[in-house]
Structure 1
Amino acid sequence: MFVSVTAFFFSLLFLGMFLSGMVTQINANWNFLDFAYHFTVFVFYFGAFLLEAAATSLHDLHCNTTMTLQPLLSDNQYNINVAATIFAFVTTACYGCSLGLALRRWRP
């Protein structure tokens, strides 16, 4: 959740700067900043995807509580984790493609 909210906030900040025309007033290499932003978000989303996939893979793990074996994740929690893993993968792939395009813009 932290990764997605932070990425959303900084994306809105970048969009606001581009729409307001501040990029023409600030002397910076915007292609590099775009590449650095997409690289950072890609790394964080990739880590979140791996953690979510690892948590989903624990579905068949059983924990011993009061002498009965219960699955670590219920079926409903497992279905939610599968959906979250798929969406995290799609988001990571989109940021990876955007990272590739930013690299292409930055490196002529």
Structure 2
Amino acid sequence: MTPSASSGGSSLPSGFAVFITFPDLLFIFEFVFGGLVWILIASSHVPIPLVQGWVMFTSVFCFTVTTLLLFLYVIGAHGNRTSWITLDAGYHCTASLLYFGASVLEALAAIELQEGFTYKYYHENISAVVFSFVVTLLYMVHAVFSLIRWKSS
């Protein structure tokens, strides 16, 4: 990568610059809201266990990988290699697709839960659906800007 390309904003930040650059700032929100989805799914009652398993897998997988990437970016493990920009874009595209599928499945499970379950369980699932779609939106925005960064690198 040439010095002019790295100064043009097409490189990944290192250290605490991760917390002030966009779209990398979204890591914090993905971490927090992804953790909320994980907690809500773990505590909720879903009539279809396979749906709960898939949503749980998605939330735990994305939470773990997001935490790992955030840590690696903060310690500067990526250097100035463009392969990390490709990894970042690929991961956020994959995560947004996984979360979109999980959000739709969780919404369908919440609709099924509307009849025959208690008020508390229904609202836990509705909260999980809302936060799941929020995380989906965060990952999609991060993916779009990561793809823009990837294209300009």
Give the TM bin, normalised by the shorter chain: 0.7 to 0.9
How many Å separate the matches in 2 of 1:106 and 1:59?
Answer: 42
Which contiguous aligned blocks of 4+ residues in structure 1 show a shift greater than 3 angstroms?
none
> Highest CA radius of gyration, 1 or 2?
1
How many Å separate the matches in 2 of 1:53 and 1:9?
Answer: 23
Deviation at 1:16, TM superposition (A): 2.5
Does the aligned pair in 1 maintain the 2:58–2:98 contact within 8 Å? yes
Return the structure number with greater strand share: 1
2:56 paired with 1:56: no
After superposition, residues 1-108 of structure 1 pair within 5 angstroms as: 1-24=56-79, 29-61=83-115, 71=116, 73-108=117-152
- Tell me which amino acid in the other structure corresponds to 2:127: A
How many Å separate the matches in 1 of 2:70 and 2:137?
Answer: 21
Deviation at 1:8, TM superposition (A): 1.7
Q: How many residues are treated as equivalent by the alignment? A: 97
Deviation at 1:80, TM superposition (A): 0.9
Identical-pair percentage: 34
| TM-score of the aligned structures, taking structure 1 as reference length | 0.79
Unaligned runs of 5+ in 2: 1-55
Does the aligned pair in 1 maintain the 2:103–2:129 contact within 8 Å? yes
- Tell me which amino acid in the other structure corresponds to 2:111: S
Unaligned runs of 5+ in 1: 62-70
Cα deviations across residues 45-93 of structure 1 (Å, max 9, x unaligned)? 11110111001111345xxxxxxxxx2x222211111111101011101
The root-mean-square deviation of aligned C-alpha atoms, in Å, is 1.8
How many Å separate the matches in 2 of 1:9 and 1:101?
Answer: 21
| TM-score of the aligned structures, taking structure 2 as reference length | 0.57
